[in-house]
Amino acid sequence: MIQRIMGYRIHQLLLILVLTFVGLTVHAQDSVSTKIGKVIYLEGSVKLLKDGRFWIPAKIGDEILIENKIKTGLNALVEIDWINGNKSKIAQNSELDALALYENSGKNVKAKTANLWGGFAKVFSEEATAKKQEEGGIRRNMAEVRSKPGRSELYWKETQEVSFDEASTAYTKKDYTKAAQLFDQFISQKPRDAQIPKARFALAHCYVEMNNPVKAKELLTDFIERYPDHELTEVAKKVLESL
């Protein structure tokens, strides 16, 4: 009787050990397989969602996992180097799934949509050139601490007011990262300005150029819903179909 009990307990112990070993092995394999990218640059407040519950401040060198979400605050920017060799940027006020960003990072959306943006970019540039610049520079106070590889400092900006001219100047110079920040700020500060539809459309284009079709889709979908009768809506629909 005692031998039976001892044998049963030994069997249970062995089973627990085997299951524990298998579980640890699977967990280790999953941890390796879910790494899809790495943070290579950031400014401002950038956070990663861990375990579906906790938002953890990101830093340069952090690995991006399939289950992560990425959230950026005001004046924030993060650039991610994916394991497929592509890179994507996320500007301020965004919350996106890492997996969706990764899966869409290799679609070469810039080439696919280049002919659709062309007419808009040309008109935009001509209007910006024709309009007299009323502001002699960006009117803002800035406090900066630039982030460098291997360090955890963040680059912060304190911006007072952004004009449409300032954002469009960066856009026509093809500085899409800066333009995305400025257009987003302009939209937030002056939501009833007559140039808001054009700013929203240009912002979507900036995200295409930043190889972030996920955010571009979000912005274009919003544009179509907001402005069903706008002259740019048909173009927005065509671009959306190509993303």
Chain centre distance of CA 142? 23
What is the C-alpha to C-alpha distance for residues 182 and 202, in angstroms, rounded to an integer? 11
Instruction: Tell me which H or E stretch contains 54.
Output: strand 54-57
pLDDT digits (tens, 9 = 90+) for 21-75: 444 444 444 444 489 999 999 999 999 998 888 999 999 999 999 999 999 999 8
CA distances from 220 to 138, 180, 197, 232, 242 (A): 27, 14, 11, 10, 12
**In this structure, is the dihedral angle defined by the CA atoms of residues 95, 101, 107 and 110, taken in order, positive or negative?**
positive
The token pair that represents 57 in the structure block: 């401040």
Phi and psi at residue 200, in whole multiples of 5°? -65, -40
More confident residue, 169 or 140: 169
Q: Taking a C-beta distance cutoff of 8 angstroms, is the pair 90, 75 a contact? A: no
Half-sphere exposure of 142 (CA within 13 A, CB side): 12
Q: Whose structure tokens read 């079709």?
A: 213
For the stretch 99-152, pLDDT in tens is 999 999 988 888 778 888 766 766 666 666 555 444 444 344 433 433 344 433
Q: Which of 97, 90, 53, 50 is nearest to 73 (CA)?
A: 90
Report CA-CA distances (Å) from 48 to 37, 83, 154, 183. 13, 18, 15, 24
> What is the rounded CA–CA span in Å between residue 43 and residue 76?
5
Per-residue model confidence as pLDDT tens digits over 206-222:
999 999 999 999 999 99
Find out whether 221 and 227 touch, Cβ atoms under 8 Å.
no
Residue 151 and residue 186 in contact, taking contact as beta carbons nearer than 8 Å: no
Q: What percent of the chain has pLDDT over 70?
A: 69
| Residue from 235, 240, 196, 234 nearest 220 by CA | 240
Distance (Å, whole) CA 211 – CA 224: 21
**Which backbone phi and psi does 163 adopt, to 5 degrees?**
-95, 165
